[in-house]
Each structure stands twice: as C-alpha cells, then as structure tokens.
C-alpha cells in the first residue's frame, strides 16, 4: 500500500509588513518547509528555546530552533554550544584570543571559556520557528 500523500500548505505570494499594497498574483504553489529549512537532513535537529538570553537576536522563549550540525560555525553565527553538560544558544564570536558565546540580552553574561573548561559548538542555528496561535 502506498503511503498517504502529504498535504502541504500553499505559498500564495508575499505580504508587506509596512504599508498595504494591491494584492499580488495569488497563483498558489505548494511549499515544503522541510526543503526550505533543512539542507542536511541527517545532521539537522529541532530544539526548543528556553529563556530570554537571545531576544535581541529574535529568538524567544518557546521558539523551535532548526540546528544544523553539518555547518562549521563562523563569526556572528548563532550556535548551540554545550559546556559543563548544559546546552545554550548564543552568538559565536572570535575575538583575537579564543572564542566567545555572546548573549543577545544585556541581562545575561557572555560565555568565555577559561583554560581547562570544555566548550563544544554543537551546531549552527539556521532558523527559528515561532507559533503565534496554538
């Protein structure tokens, strides 16, 4: 028996977030969010953000983060790091001496590993998904 076909939402155009404009062509086309958001399926994971340390980067409590472990982190990428057996999401920076995981909320301290402290970059955040209405 063949698997049931997936019903995908249609992408009907774009919408301005400023002043209203006349409607664009409403020709609908199916959009598969997996294809849009995931470039390395075997290395991509979804994690739920907890806390407010990244609000100024647009990541809020309860957002779903798309994390790609196949990407190498670059300066200013948002990453998931793990240190002291705890996961965190921060902005990856490379100052002249070492690395820094920078919070995007002034109420939170940055993470600067000291000699002997383990800190691993677990993956690069490629997208955040926020649900407005449950």
Largest CA distance in the chain: 60
Helices and strands (H and E) in the chain: how many: 1, 8
Pairwise CA distance, residues 14 & 18, whole Å: 12
Compute φ and ψ for 26, nearest 5 degrees. Answer: -95, 25
Active centre residues (catalytic)? 53, 90
């Amino acid at each position: 028996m063949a698997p049931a076909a997936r019903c995908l939402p249609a992408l009907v155009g774009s919408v301005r977030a400023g002043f209203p404009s006349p409607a664009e062509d409403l020709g609908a086309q199916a959009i598969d969010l997996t294809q849009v958001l995931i470039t390395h399926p075997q290395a991509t994971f979804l994690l739920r953000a907890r806390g407010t340390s990244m609000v100024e980067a647009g990541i809020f409590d309860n957002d779903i983060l798309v994390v790609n472990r196949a990407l190498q982190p670059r300066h200013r990428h948002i990453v998931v790091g793990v240190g002291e057996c705890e996961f965190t999401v921060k902005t990856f920076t490379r100052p002249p001496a070492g690395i820094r995981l920078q919070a995007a909320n002034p109420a939170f301290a940055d993470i600067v590993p000291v000699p002997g402290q383990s800190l691993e970059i677990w993956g690069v955040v490629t997208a955040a998904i926020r649900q407005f209405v449950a």
